[in-house]
Every structure is written in structure tokens, then in C-alpha cells.
Chain A
Amino acid sequence: MAAALELRDVGVRFGSFDAVDGVSLSVHAGEVVGLIGPNGAGKTVTFNVVTGLQPATRGTVLLDGRDVTGAAAHVRTAMGLARTFQVVQLFAGMSVLENLMVAAHRFTSAGVVVDALRLPGRRRALDQARERASAVLAFLELSHLADVEASSLPVGQARLVELARALCLKPKVLLLDEPASGLDPAETADFVALLAEVRSVLGCAMLLVEHDMGVVMPLCDHLVVMNFGKVLASGTPSEVRDDPAVRTAYLGAVPA
């Protein structure tokens, strides 16, 4: 079976600087892969290449075995790709529920004319989106936040809402960029438990960028370590932890 997500020799060059330099990795359905490495290693740029926000200078990105290297971001979303952002990107001026509805609208259809003239399809689209958004909020026990203005949330809740919004897309591949940064220890523990549940319920492939080893170690089946745009090491968490090269690059972050 083809991997849910596969990168083959992906490179991104800014001027004469290789932000990502020959990264290959694959994530299968139900698997959680951790992408770790020091700041500036190229993890976020890799995410942007996968989601189509940043064109790759070389290499291939495959979703479920299909080459999407040149595809636009929204096309990849339609193929089951979802992500969160390192800097939370909730939509300001909208409530939490409305934020989720934007994502849920992927499964609805209503054009400008239908919307503007209140043709029958409009109501149906809004109802479907609201229903799906509410269900996801309920699943994450966030229903009480539904009507809160998204930009007023503290970062812990904002990260949860962003995850919820990604889940509204029914992802087959979920990319999370430092989802636990800015959370306190109690929130982080809850978050790990939540991600474990998401994984068991949805069975999607997950690629996780995270600095907190307390999140990475229990969740990930496989780790890929990046440094200076290159893959430095990869393997099971324990293999990677004992790799001397990784220890040198990443001193202090790996618990001994």
C-alpha cells in the first residue's frame, strides 16, 4: 500500500541558501512520525512544501501515491491534507464555530449567486457546515467556546481550536507544527492524550513537528531528525535518542 504521504528528495532553495536539502520521508495511515530538529532546520518550510504554500525547488511530494508536487494548496486539501500552523492562524473577526465552518465548507457547495440570492442550496450548505463543526467541537469538548471570538482566545485554547478546525477537514494526513508550544505542562499532558485519541479514532497519518520530547516520545512511532535542511537521522524514538550525531546537534533537548 502506498504511503499516505511521501517526500522524495525534496529541496527548497532561497537564493543561494538551501532551507530544505534532499529530504525524503514517508508516513503511513495510522502512523505518527515526528519531525524534529533545532530552530531553522527547515521543518516549517518542509510543511509548506507538503501543503503547497511553498513550491519545491526539486523533489516530489506524493499523497496516497499520487504526485501532487505542482498542485495548488486547496487541491491538496481536497485530497485529505490538513495542517496547523506554528504561529496560530485562526481567522479574526469570526467566532470559533465560524472558524470551524470555514473548514467544514470543504464538503458543501454554494456559489456566489446561490449565496447572494439565498437560493435553497445556501441554507443546506450552512446547515451541513454548522453540523459538522459542532460535532467536531463536541468531540473535542470545546462546545462551550463555540460563540467566542477566535482572536480573543488564550494560546492554549487557540491551538486546540486550530486542531479542531483541521479535523473538520476529515484529514487523511494531518500536519501539526509545534502544536504544544506555548502550552503549560497540564495543557501539554491533555494535548498528548487528545492526539493519542485522535489517532486511534481517525486513523490518519500524522506528521508532528515538536520540540517538547515529552510530547514526541510517547506519541511517535518513527522520528526524522533534520538539521541545516538535511535529514540527520531517522528511526524509532529510542534509536534516534541514542544516535550520537543527533545528541551533538540537539544537545540538551533529548532527555538522557
Chain B
Amino acid sequence: MSTYLALALGGLAIGAMYALTALGIVIVYKTSRVFNFATGAIGLACAYLASTLSAKGLPIPLVIVLAVSLGVTIGIGMELSVRPVKSTLTKTIVTLGWLLALQGAVGWKYGTQAASDQPAVLLESTRLLAIGPYILSKDQAALMAIAVAVVACLAAFFRLTSLGTATRAVSEAPDAARLLGIRVDRVNLVAWGIGGGISGLAGVLVTPLLGELNTTTLIIFTVQALAAALVGRLSSLPLTLAGGLGLGVLQPVVNRFMQTEFPSVRGVDELTALAVVLGALLLFRSGGRRDVAAGGLEPVPVKPLPSGGTALALGAGVLLAVLLLPLLLGDTGNLSRYNLIQTGVWALAVLSLVLLVGVVGQVSVCQAVFMGIGAYGTGIAASHGVPFLLAILVGAAMAAATAALVGLPAIRLEPLELAIATLSLAFTADRFLYNWTPLNGGDTSRPVPRPGFAEQSGAEIASGDRAYAWLVLGIFILAAFAVASLRRGRTGAALTALRSSEPATAAMGFSVVSVKLRGFAASGFLAGLAGALYAGLVGNASGAPFDFTRSITLLAYTVIVGVGSVPGAVLGGFIVTFSTLSFGASDEVARGETASQVTFLTGVLLIAVVAVRDSGVVGRVRDRFRSDPPDPGPLPEQREPLLVKAGL
């Protein structure tokens, strides 16, 4: 018992940092109704800056001020970039672009491997307090004090300053605030600036606790902040603080319990946070509802798939075939056949998102997780002697089942909430799922032997084999055809109807639950198939190609190529493949740098594409989309005499 108490006490400091990071999210959400997924990435950038500056011997207070200034600047930059975007959900997707851009920029500048610079140690960890047998060190106490002080300052800001009052007004009723002459844009700018600064401060302070400074740890850290923010119902500062501290206390206790009972399970901290995220989302539903009504969460803005599904599917297939053909015929040219098989695989992954975002109308930030399950599932089936072609179907079916499971809360959640849940899942998968023995078989990678693979030499594998290329091509064409057909068929009709009006769709005799779940399962099946084919290509299943960054970039590419576009999926596949090329980089460090540059560019591209679209053509298309139900405006003068019936 006392062990558990000591553990819990030790979690308070990190819990304070969860709370601090969460406050950065809450401040922004309160005013702009945008969920800032880049919070952890801002912290990352600021932590790296702080560590460089302190290595140069700058005094600690100056380091903190400079790092926080960077956070404020990034926050302001983000506000400016989302300002022209109309839907709050799209704005939230733009923050994912910032996450990528910041993560990429840091990796580009400092390298993706564990930083050579040590995290800046800002607070001495000398012993300070002894509470009975328990010891609280000075830095831990300071972190808690800082979190409490920030909450107090923010509360005072909201209560006592005129800008704070304006912020509250904007948060309660943006339109009314605008009418009262409050400059909503300026208020938003301030909120984003404060939010960015807090995120930066949290990043700087937490790095010593995490003990390592690299480009993923601080971003995965976000999952805990998401949990704390949701416990605070995205609005209450004290509850957010309590949520962060509570999670900090809960994690080491759960961790200790799992270590004794299930020692092989990894990523328990993230798993605990995920449980809190899901619990908070489902329990605090009513609060969320009200936010939705007030804050104008809108369905994903998409243009419907153009008609003529067959033509589309064939067009996409032909395009891919044309691109693949010279290589299938044996001319390997510049791009090796291996890379073109990859293109087919990634195109299939993007296609699964086109189905989910464009047709089902839901946002998933964990599509790569479905791929990972498809890959591991294929490996599991193969290890039981199932032939390869059947094994990939088993893997895809497992992914479909997982997707349906993820879709289950989606029945009750708004798209934004689902985005939060799926991103949390993507973070957790990296730490927990891909290290879970039943899935990976106790090793980081599980062999997935495709037929003939064992006999091939390294060079042959690297160039991919021709039969496999045809297989991937065939499956992609079939899948493109299937998505287009689905959209135009009975299920597609129900899915399109559902996006417009759930009550009316239910009143037409469709079960909302079953239609949504089938949409999720179909999308998960395609993603799982893509993962399975990828595993077959490289000969093994592992988590690395399907990490959270991949999940986010897949969504980014889907948005970039146009969420409703089946041929766009091919383009998306090309971009992903291109992004995985090493461009002659030979060692791990150089490869990390290239990957970071690509991540950075993807983020910037996503931000830019959304901004351009929303100010231009696509914005107009969506406006047309939004104008339903039709205004009960004046009726046209020449009304057709519809019902002049004889005998009536």
C-alpha cells in the first residue's frame, strides 16, 4: 500500500505537466473551438531550443523566456493559418499539419535520433520535502507550483482583465460577441498565443522528467494532455489541472500493477491515458453536445464522389497500370519495381481513407494502425500455415473488425471527438500495440513470407518481384472499383443520406449503427489489406512503417489530394512512396534527416492546401453543400400546377 502511495506521489510532478500541456489545448478550444493537436509539437520545438540555448551557457531564466516566446510565436502563426478556414474540424486538421511541420522541422535541424544535447535541466532535483516516509524533490514541487500558478494566472486573466472578459464572451457566443464590437480575431490571436506559450513552457519543463529528448516522445506525450483536457471537459481550468494530476497519480499505480500481473505488456502509461480519453469522451457526452451546438462543429467538408464509378475506377487503374507497365515488363528505370509496388500499397491505404472521409464522412487519425493490424494478422495467419493469399484476407478481416470496434464509439461521437479518440489510439499503438506479444509474437517484427520470397536473394527482394507487382496492381484496381461501386450502390445511398440527416436516414428504415459500422469495417478492410500487402513486400510485419506519424500523414495526403477522389488515391500513393525514398541517404542519420524534411513539407503542404482551398473554389463548393435544408425563401413565380388532377 505504502509503495503505491509513494508511486502516486511521484506521479504528481509529471501529472502537473500533463495539466500544463492540456491547458494549452483548453485555452485555444475555449475561444476558437479548435482542438490544437500540435500542442506536443510546440513543446518539442521549444524544448529543443531551450536545450540548445542552455548548452550555449545562457542563464536559465533567459532560456525559459526565449523558449516560451517561440511557443507564443508558433501559436500566433497557427491562428493566422487557420483564420481563413471555415469549418472548425478542418481547422483542427490544419493543426495536424502543424504537428507534422514542427516535428519535421525539429528532426531536420537536430536529427531524429536521441539528441546529442542533453535536455536542459532547469530545476535542481535536490530533496526538499519529507512527508512521513515520502520524499518530494525540489523540482517536482516546483513543477506542481508552476502548474497551479499558471491555472491561477489564467483564471485571473479571464475574470479580471477586459481582454479576458472578451475571451469569455467569444467562447460563450462568438456571433453575439462580434455584434457587441468585440474583435473576435484579436481575441483568438491572444488565446492562441497564450496557448502556444503554455505548450512551449510545458515542453521545456517536462523534458528532464521524460529523460530523453527526441522527436517522438514529446509528441506521444500529447495523449496524456488530451486525457487531462477531456477530463476538464475542454473548458474548466481547475478540472483540467485535476485531470492531469489525477492521471499522473494513476499511471504509476496502474503501471506497477501491470508489471506484476502482465509483465510483458508495454506502453501501459499510454494505454491508461487512452482509457481516460475514451471514458471521458463517452461519459461527458452531454457537455460535448452543447459545445457542438454552440461551436459549430460541422461535418467533414467533402465533395461527393463524381458519378460514373466504373469509369473512375478504370481510369485510376489504367493510370497505375501505365505507370507500372514499363517496370512490369522488366525495365526497372529509375524507380525500382519495389517502389512501384509500394505505390500500389500506399495508394490502397489512401483509398481506404477516401472511403472513410469522403463517403462515410468520418475522420480517422489511426488508419496506419489498421494497416499494422493487417500486417501482423497476415503474419499470424501465415505462422499457422495459411497460404499467403488467404493470410492477407485474414489480416484484412482482423483490421476490419478493429475498425468496426473503433467505429463503435463513433456512433455517439462527433467527428472531432472521433479524431481525438483515433489519434490517441495511434499514439497508444506505437507504444502498446506494436509491442504486444500476442500480435508481434514476442519480437519487434513477425515474418510474413510471400510465395517465392524465401528463395529470393536480397537484390531480388529489393527490386520487388513481377508477380507480386501484378497482384498488388490487381488488388488496387479491384479496390478502386469496389469503392466507386459501393458509393453508387445501396450502402452508398444510405451512407450519403446519413451524412445529411441521421434521423431521416433512420426513418427510411436504415439502422444508423449498422450503416456506420459497415462503412468503418469496409475502410478498415482496405487499410488492413494495404498493410498485409506491405508486409508481404518487405517480408515481415513490424510497427515502424505504421507509426502515428504515418497515420497523420495518410490523412494529410488524403486531404491534399481531395477526400472524395478515387484517382487521387493513386497520387496519394505516389506521394507516400516518394516520401519514403531515401534519396541516396546511406546512413540512419541522413535517412532520418530526409524523412524529417518530407514530414515538414507534408505539414506545410497540408496547411497551404487547406488555406488555398478554403479561400477559393472548394470553399464555394462547400457553401453550396452547406445550404441545406433549403431556405424557406420566396417561392418562384411560375409554379408548375403539380396537382391539378381530374376528379379532385
Contacts and interface: CB of A to CB of B under 8 A. Distances in A.
Contacts of B570: none
Contacts of B521: 112
Given A115-B490, A116-B485, A197-B648, A153 B630 contact: yes
B629 A87 contact: yes
B497 interface: yes
Contacts of A151: 627-630
B639 A112 contact: no
A78 B636 CA distance: 37
Contact of B635 (A94, A116, A184, A197): A184
A92 B20 CA distance: 43
A19 B209 CA distance: 54
B595 to A, nearest CB: 35
B332 interface: no
A106 interface: yes
A126 B489 contact: yes
B493 A122 contact: no
B210 interface: no
B648 A154 contact: no
A117 B482 contact: yes
A85 B490 contact: no
A122 B507 contact: no
Nearest to B499: A93
Nearest to B627: A151
A169 interface: yes
Interface string A98-123: 11011101101111101111100010
A112 B639 CA distance: 41
A112 B640 CA distance: 40
B482 to A, nearest CB: 4
A117 to B, nearest CB: 6
A25 interface: no
A256 interface: no
A245 interface: no
Contacts of B133: none
A109 B497 CA distance: 17
Contact of B486 (A116, A153, A182): A116
Interface string B493-534: 110110111011111111110000010011000000000000
B490 A108 contact: yes
A51 B505 CA distance: 12
B308 interface: no
A92 B500 contact: yes
A108 B491 CA distance: 11
Interface in B363-379: none
Interface string A80-91: 001101011111
B504 A117 contact: no
A126 B486 CA distance: 12
A134 interface: no
B643 interface: yes
Contact of A91 (B504, B522, B631, B643): B504
B642 A91 contact: no
Nearest to B503: A53
Q: Give the most central of B499, B508, B632, B633: most A CB within 10 Å.
A: B508
A116 B482 contact: yes
A62 interface: no
B505 A102 contact: yes
B483 interface: yes
B625 A92 contact: yes
Contact of A193 (B486, B493, B645): B645
A115 B489 contact: yes
A113 to B, nearest CB: 9
A87 B632 CA distance: 10
B504 A115 contact: no
A142 interface: yes
Contacts of B629: 87-90, 92, 151, 158
A190 B643 contact: yes
B509 A77 contact: yes
Interface in A180-206: 182, 184, 186-187, 190-191, 193-194, 196-197
B508 A126 contact: no
A144 B640 CA distance: 10
Q: Which of A102, A184, A193 has the most CB of B within 10 A?
A: A102
Interface string B464-506: 0000000000000000011101100111111011011101111
Nearest to A150: B628
B494 A105 contact: yes
A163 B497 CA distance: 16
B304 interface: yes
28 contacts: A51-B506, A53-B507, A77-B506, A77-B508, A87-B629, A89-B501, A89-B629, A90-B629, A91-B504, A92-B500, A93-B496, A93-B625, A102-B494, A102-B510, A105-B493, A105-B508, A108-B490, A111-B491, A116-B482, A116-B486, A125-B490, A150-B628, A151-B627, A156-B639, A158-B630, A182-B632, A193-B643, A196-B648
| A-B pairs, 4 with minimum CB distance | A115-B489, A77-B509, A116-B482, A151-B628
Given A85-B504, A91-B497, 8 more contacts: A72-B511, A74-B506, A83-B507, A94-B493, A144-B640, A154-B636, A158-B630, A165-B508
